[in-house]
């Protein structure tokens, strides 16, 4: 595990948020976007408990009480995804320019891949 100061965590989280916002503005759908989402979740995660020598404590304060030797290690849990909201497909209007057709196809293919990767089907 990499030890980060709170200041460095905030700096990295702000950077990840800015990159994600940039992807949203440009309609991006990429591996880079997913990496930034994962990084942001990891950087901002809050431990649900602390462990010292096999003993689990609900708070860091409890773990630091006298009687246990060692350094408290955080324990993290991955919260369940509450739900995935996807934008609508872009329908073909029949008279789209070549650019519009390519953009729409790319958008729709990206949505289809998100559904496939998340087991959402049609």
* Digitized pLDDT (tens) for each residue of the chain, 122 residues in all: 456 677 887 888 888 888 888 776 666 666 677 777 887 887 788 888 999 988 999 999 999 988 888 888 888 776 544 456 677 888 877 776 777 778 888 888 888 877 777 667 65
What is the end-to-end Cα distance of the chain in Å, rounded? Answer: 40
Question: What is the rounded radius of gyration, in angstroms, for the C-alpha atoms of the chain?
Answer: 21
Contact 34, 25 (CB under 8 A): no
CA triple 105-117-75, angle to 5 deg: 140
Compute the distance between CA of residue 105 and CA of residue 113 in angstroms, rounded to an integer: 12
What residues does each domain of the chain span? 1-44, 46-79, 83-122
């Amino acid at each position: 595990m990499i030890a980060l100061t709170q200041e460095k965590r905030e700096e990295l989280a702000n950077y990840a948020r800015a990159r994600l916002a940039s992807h949203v503005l440009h309609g991006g759908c990429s591996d880079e976007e997913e990496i930034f989402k994962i990084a942001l979740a990891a950087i901002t995660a809050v431990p649900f408990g602390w462990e010292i020598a096999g003993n689990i404590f609900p708070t860091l304060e409890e773990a630091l009480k006298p009687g246990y030797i060692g350094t408290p290690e955080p324990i993290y849990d991955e919260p369940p995804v509450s739900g995935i909201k996807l934008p609508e497909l872009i329908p073909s209007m029949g008279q789209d320019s070549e650019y519009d057709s390519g953009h729409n196809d790319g958008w729709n293919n990206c949505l289809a891949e998100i559904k496939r990767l998340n087991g959402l089907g049609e």
